[in-house]
């Protein structure tokens, strides 16, 4: 598809288009993907985890200005990062929508974690570490609503050097929930809740937090927004800034006062939005991005799979994120 406006996004049926492009690209071997049933289900504490070996992970290239975990290494020159950017000239065989809402493309992930895994990428280069814009949040939300006619999708955004991203060009990812993880703890947390925004006082209601979850996280329920771009931008933008301020406070109180070196994962469905502050991209050899924090651990081989089981998912998530301190960690007025 060549072009799609936000209003037209409400009129088309997106999932069959994604599926058609994916199936064709897979058949023509344009994707590095082998569907596998090699996985294990593991319960750790009160949470369920799926540990799956994904062979394409070992072939997936990375394009970061600086490697995580090493604050002393010299960043790569910007021209080198741009030269290795796979999103500036995407492959036609992987393109779902060439121009979405003027500023974006929808393209397949060349190294997908699942079938029908695709990305929303900026048409021009924007840093992955930049904040999500209200327009991007609204585009994510309406895309999820559209996909929800057929599949239970979620979107995720990895931001900051320790968030687990592999590409520095700004992108948001969309995946269907694994069948084994379709009802996660966040769904239970927001069940029966209506949209609200925490106020700037300790006495007001704050973000949702599950005390049984081992890692620090902040959740807000989302409203069912009619297809109104202005309303979606306002409501989602405010929710995002509340959550991002929580991340800043978490870093101030637990990782030093520097607000310029902040990493986090953001996950969204059509019903909720969650943010997870990140202090490490990996624990030992176990790398994680947003997926691990909803229970999906991906391993490139049996060695990594064994390490995940040896340490336990909860330990890895606490080390790569922060231990859960609930939502009483810091005064909202700090930022």
Q: Are β-strands 286-287 and 282-283 bridged in parallel, bridged antiparallel, or unpaired?
A: antiparallel
What integer is the mean pLDDT of 16-21? 98
Confidence label for 46 from pLDDT (cuts 50, 70 and 90): confident
Q: Are β-strands 47-53 and 296-299 bridged in parallel, bridged antiparallel, or unpaired?
A: parallel
Query: Residue 167's pLDDT is what?
Result: 94
How many folded domains does the chain comprise? 1
Residue 131's contacts (CB-CB under 8 Å, 6 or more residues apart) are: 159, 240, 244
Paired tokens of 192: 């029966």
Model confidence pTM above 0.85:
yes
Query: Residue 333's pLDDT is what?
Result: 46
What integer is the mean pLDDT of 135-163? 97
User: Residue 143 belongs to a domain with what CATH number?
Assistant: 3.30.428.70
Residue 108's contacts (CB-CB under 8 Å, 6 or more residues apart) are: 18, 21, 22, 25, 31, 94, 95, 96, 117, 118, 119
60 pLDDT higher than 90: no
Strand locations in 187-271 (E): 218-221, 263-268
Catalytic residue numbers, as ranges:
171
Half-sphere exposure at residue 172, Cβ-oriented, CA atoms within 13 angstroms: 27
257 pLDDT higher than 70: no
Query: Residue 329's pLDDT is what?
Result: 58
Query: Residue 62's pLDDT is what?
Result: 73
DSSP 275-317: EEEES-SEETTEE--GGGGGTEEEESSHHHHHHHHHH-HHHHH
Query: Residue 260's pLDDT is what?
Result: 62
Least confident of 116-130, 132-146, 190-204: 190-204
| pLDDT tens column, 293-315 | 999 999 999 999 999 999 999 99
Question: Cα–Cα distance between 219 and 238 in angstroms, integer?
Answer: 13
Q: Which domain holds residue 284?
A: 3-334
Strand locations in 59-181 (E): 95-100, 104-108, 118-122, 153-159, 171-176
């Amino acid at each position: 598809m060549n072009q799609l406006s936000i209003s037209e996004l409400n009129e088309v049926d997106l999932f069959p288009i994604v599926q058609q492009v994916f199936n064709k690209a897979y058949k023509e071997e344009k994707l590095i993907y082998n569907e596998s049933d090699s996985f294990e289900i593991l319960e750790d504490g009160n949470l369920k985890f799926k540990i799956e070996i994904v062979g394409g992970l070992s072939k997936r290239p990375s394009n970061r200005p600086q490697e995580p975990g090493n604050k002393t290494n010299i960043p790569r020159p910007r021209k080198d990062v741009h030269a290795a950017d796979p999103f500036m000239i995407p492959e036609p065989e992987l393109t779902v929508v060439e121009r979405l809402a003027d500023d974006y493309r929808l393209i397949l992930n060349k190294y997908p974690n699942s079938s029908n895994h695709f990305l929303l990428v900026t048409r021009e280069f924007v840093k992955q570490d930049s904040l999500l814009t209200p327009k991007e949040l609204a585009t994510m939300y309406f895309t999820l609503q559209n996909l929800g006619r057929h599949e239970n999708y979620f979107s995720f955004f990895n931001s900051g050097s320790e968030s687990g991203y592999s590409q520095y060009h700004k992108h948001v990812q969309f995946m269907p929930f694994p069948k084994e993880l379709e009802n996660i703890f966040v769904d239970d947390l927001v069940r029966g809740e209506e949209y609200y925004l925490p106020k700037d006082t300790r006495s007001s209601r704050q973000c949702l937090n599950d005390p049984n979850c081992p890692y620090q996280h902040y959740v807000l329920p989302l409203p069912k927004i009619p297809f109104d771009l202005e309303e979606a931008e306002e409501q989602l933008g405010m929710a995002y800034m509340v959550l991002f301020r929580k991340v800043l406070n978490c870093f101030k109180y637990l990782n030093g006062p520097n607000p310029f070196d902040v990493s986090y994962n953001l996950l969204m469905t059509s019903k909720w939005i969650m943010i997870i502050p990140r202090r490490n991209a990996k624990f030992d050899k176990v790398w994680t991005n947003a997926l691990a924090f909803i229970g999906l651990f991906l391993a490139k081989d049996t060695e990594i799979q064994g390490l995940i089981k040896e340490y336990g998912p909860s330990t890895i998530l606490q080390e790569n994120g922060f231990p859960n301190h609930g939502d009483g960690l810091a005064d909202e007025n700090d930022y």
